[in-house]
Amino acid sequence: MSVEITMPQLSDTMSEGVVVKWKKKEGDAVKQGEIVAEVETDKATMEMEAFDAGTLAVIVVKEGGKAGVGKPIAVLATGKESIDEVRQRYAAGAAAAPSAAAPAATSAAPAAAPAAVATSAAVAEAPPTTFKPVHATTAPEGDEDRRMRVSPLARRVAAEKGVDLSRLSGSGPSGRIIRRDVESASASPALPIRLGSGRSEVIELTKMRLAIAKNLIASKQSIPHFYETIEADVEALSELRGGMNKRLAAQKIRISLSDFVTRAVAMALLDHPALNATFDGQRVTRWGDVHLGMAVSVPDGLIVPVLRSVDQMDVKEIRLRSLDLVERARAQKLKQSEMRGATFTVSNLGAYGVKEFSAIINPPEVGILAIGAAQKRPIVRGDAIVARTMLTLTLSADHRAVDGATAAQFLAGLKELLEEPGMLLA
């Protein structure tokens, strides 16, 4: 028998996705749980596993093509059925099906998690999607010498990552710009490019950016945010960190100030469970474990991987686990389960020198903590002005579920932990 590999719905907002890369080719053996493809969701590009074992007989959706949620993207031959039989049946089904030449409604679903469903229906192959460039100017259509040679997938990836194709050299056949050229360019830090007088540029929003825009509008329009800010003296914490890093140097582990803040947030949330909660509009659910979302910047977007059960980790484990999550988030290698289930979120712009900011709550959570840069500032101690390392923290809270006094008590507890860092090692 044959089994179709279909795309699951991986988020409430997801309706279609793009097959970015096939890890297997037609004729390859596939093991249960093996990664078969990379699929772009409205949040990230994620790996997709197979639920069944067999031989990859038919790739229904090619790289760069779309498939709707629940729609097939490939077919496995399982049992005694040969791949030739499966191919012939699906070829006949495609010919009998309504013409696939009308690129009209080619839908596609994001993928990151496995999904394979058995069905007897034949499916027409989804035509690959093309994307028009977002550059301010292009070469005339008739000028073969000046026209850029770009693969459709490279053009799409360039549009999503904001890469100017006119500045790239192709490494493909005959100098063709291919996907790896675009990805190499997007991985390299670059200064913003001036458009120049008289020019303009239109940027099409990626699926990720569209999803972010929709979710943030919903959050600000439906959640009555309020904000409270404190300053914590982290001079002693900075000294503690320096001593720990000397002891950990042989292990090539370097603890950051953020790791201590993460530990303090987890401990403070356990003491103040009203903030370690979610709200569905009718009921508040308080959680006994802290699953901390960490806002991570990626090209043209934001991903929030979840550090699960962070309250059970010491500072060293927090460093190792969070570093792994952040690296895989930026490489778009997170599992779907690693982006769900947060009970509270932190957003840190300290690395950019931002002293203070306010963050937008990520529903259904009831709070988010904005962490600024730790800076030396003149502080009054007794009758003297001294230089101390200070950290500004701003809590955004949902006033439907959290009162001002409750939020203030949480911040006071957090400040105490940061200013008495020995408690973070208990």
Residues catalogued as catalytic: 399
Q: Phi/psi of residue 74, each to 5°?
A: -160, 165
Q: How far apart are CA 365 and CA 286, in angstroms?
A: 10
| Contacts (Cβ under 8 Å, ≥6 apart) of 324 | none
| Dihedrals phi, psi of 81, to nearest 5 degrees | -70, 135
Q: In this structure, are residues 360 and 216 in contact, taking their beta carbons and an 8 Å threshold?
A: yes
* Residues in contact with 313: Cβ distance below 8 Å, sequence separation at least 6, in sequence order: 263, 266, 307, 321
Helices then strands, each counted (H, E), the chain: 8, 20
State the Cα–Cα distance between residues 425 and 264, nearest whole angstrom.
10
Go through the chain and tell me how many residues it has. Answer: 426
Residue of 11, 213, 255, 219 whose CA lies nearest to 112: 11
Tokens representing residue 393 in the block:
């923290």
Q: How crowded is the C-beta side of 195, counted as CA atoms within 13 Å?
A: 11
Which residue reads 């003297």 in tokens? Answer: 384
Residue 93's Cβ-count burial label (10 Å; 0-12, 13-18, 19+) is middle
